[in-house]
Amino acid sequence: MDRTPGGRRLAAESRSLADGEPIELVSRSCEVDDVSFAAVVDAADESRILWATPEGLEIAGRGVAAGFSAAGPDRYDAIRRQADRVFDRLEHGGPTVARPRAFGGFSFHDGSDADPPWTGFDPASFVVPQVFVTRDETDGIWLTAVADDREAVDARLERWRDRLTDGPTMCASGSAPGVESTERSTSPERWAEQISRALDRIDDGRLTKVVLAQALSVDLTVPVDVPATLERLRRQYPSCYRFLVGHGVGGTFFGAPPEQLVSKRGERVGTEALAGSAPRGRTPEADEEYAERMLADEKLRREHELVVDAIREQLGPLASELTVSDRTLRKLATIQHLRTPISATLETDRHVLELVEALHPTPAVGGVPPESAWETIHETETFDRGWYAAPVGWFDGSGDGEFAVALRSAITAGESATLFAGNGIVADSDPDDEWEEVQLKFRPILDELRER
């Protein structure tokens, strides 16, 4: 595989970023009326990204004005160095909300091989799109184009403005592709064995917690319309992130994660511990009972506190002040979780990628201690996590940015999709309960693939 930073596929327009030269790009924005975000990301054979937050920021982008990719333990720094060479010289004509940002993410493990279904998904890869639309609650809707020079950027902006304003404004929510058949990576019997082996390690003191996951391969009747599926997910899971990453080759990775890894704006940092799960009840009384039981459950409390402690340990040394708020409930349509919001003020300025590196993987998706958890995951799981449960999001030229944990996610190409879901295992975990919780975590995506 081509491991050169900014290798062929992700070269900045036509140049490679490997030669050390700064890259000069120009961006221009114009305000537009309501336009279809789906129309920007409707071509699976081109690079495309979509990012939406629970607070209402939504960005859809296409093409590659600059691309960065990296592998290995140095991947966070390597991405940042490549991006600095672009952002340091970028001239942006437009409001801050519509500024160019680099969108992408990381694989769960730094040595991920990008084998199918993960073809094209390097251990770290980001793009600054050639064209993107940005919407947020206060600033309206903006179209931005990025190119090598002013003439090219003006032409691109005009072309896309015509194209989007002539098209439909609504995001089509489409219909589900329909599921022909499913195949599990892990049978219930195999799962019970895996849990029992993890519990042995916990018993003999090598491990305190590990998150074990499963994959579900789905044969579809027709290919997934990913933007339309995300639109349906928005309605079902309005408090979740939504993302789509496609490189024009291989599959499209998408999901509706409930969990923020980190957000950084200036010196302010936000993150959260989200761990501990229970079903939603069919009646308000049943739902309340599940919630009460979860809040009172000693095992879940320990499992959750491990995540809080790890975040405190990772972020503490970088912060002048750190606030751990009270534990609350996070209720989603099909599942509920324990959640602890955490915020911090940085002691000195940091790039958001430094915070991503410090936090990933939190024990909400990895385990404690991290090395032993990683070894257990590696020896136990029979599939490649790829970008599942890893950081996905954006950063900008001043080092601000926001990342979600890529959960409740799937990678799809043609008439197949692979879904991923996992659960935290600690002392006293019961294989049947853990199995049920994993199945609940497949539901957000699986429900949207099935015809109702």
Phi and psi torsions of 394, nearest 5°: -145, 160
Tell me which residue has tokens 């160019």. 100
Nearer to ligand ISJ, 114 or 273 (CB): 273
Torsion of the alpha carbons at 51, 53, 56 and 60, rounded to the nearest 10: 0
3-state DSSP assignment of residue 154: helix
- Report CA 58 to chain centroid distance, whole Å: 14
Nearer to ligand ISJ, 127 or 404 (CB): 404
Minimum distance of ligand ISJ from residue 259's CB (angstroms): 5
Torsion of the alpha carbons at 127, 132, 135 and 141, rounded to the nearest 10: 160
Structure tokens of 299?
């095992």
Considering the candidates 58, 231, 259, 272, report the single residue annotated as catalytic: 259
Residue 337 and residue 330 in contact, taking contact as beta carbons nearer than 8 Å: yes
According to DSSP, the residues that pair with 339 across neighbouring strands are: 274, 328
Nearer to ligand ISJ, 145 or 332 (CB): 332
Considering the candidates 58, 209, 231, 357, report the single residue annotated as catalytic: 209
Minimum distance of ligand ISJ from residue 20's CB (angstroms): 40
Q: What is the largest CA-CA distance in the chain?
A: 67
Nearer to ligand ISJ, 190 or 350 (CB): 190
Nearer to ligand ISJ, 120 or 424 (CB): 424
- Report CA 280 to chain centroid distance, whole Å: 24
Minimum distance of ligand ISJ from residue 306's CB (angstroms): 10
Minimum distance of ligand ISJ from residue 431's CB (angstroms): 14
Looking at residue 339, its amino acid is R
Minimum distance of ligand ISJ from residue 389's CB (angstroms): 6
Looking at residue 320, its amino acid is S
Minimum distance of ligand ISJ from residue 276's CB (angstroms): 5
3-state DSSP assignment of residue 117: coil
Minimum distance of ligand ISJ from residue 433's CB (angstroms): 11
How many Cβ atoms sit within 10 Å of the Cβ of residue 305?
17
Produce one character per residue of 56-84: b if its CB has 16 or more CB atoms within 10 Å, e if not: ebbbbbbbbbbbbbbbeeebbebbbebbe
Minimum distance of ligand ISJ from residue 422's CB (angstroms): 4
Q: Where along the sequence are the contacts to ligand ISJ (CB under 6 A)?
A: 211, 213, 259, 274-277, 337, 364-365, 389, 407-408, 421-424, 441
Nearer to ligand ISJ, 216 or 274 (CB): 274
Produce one character per residue of 12-47: b if its CB has 16 or more CB atoms within 10 Å, e if not: bbeeebeeeeebebbbbbeebeebbbbbbbbebeeb
How many Cβ atoms sit within 10 Å of the Cβ of residue 432?
11
Structure tokens of 128?
């600054």
Nearer to ligand ISJ, 51 or 388 (CB): 388
- Check if 209 is active-site: yes
Nearer to ligand ISJ, 384 or 396 (CB): 384
Give the residue among 240, 447, 198, 209 at the shortest CA–CA distance from 339: 240
- Report CA 362 to chain centroid distance, whole Å: 14
What lies within 8 Å, CB to CB, of 7 at 6+ separation is 16, 18, 69
- Residues recognised as catalytic: 209, 259
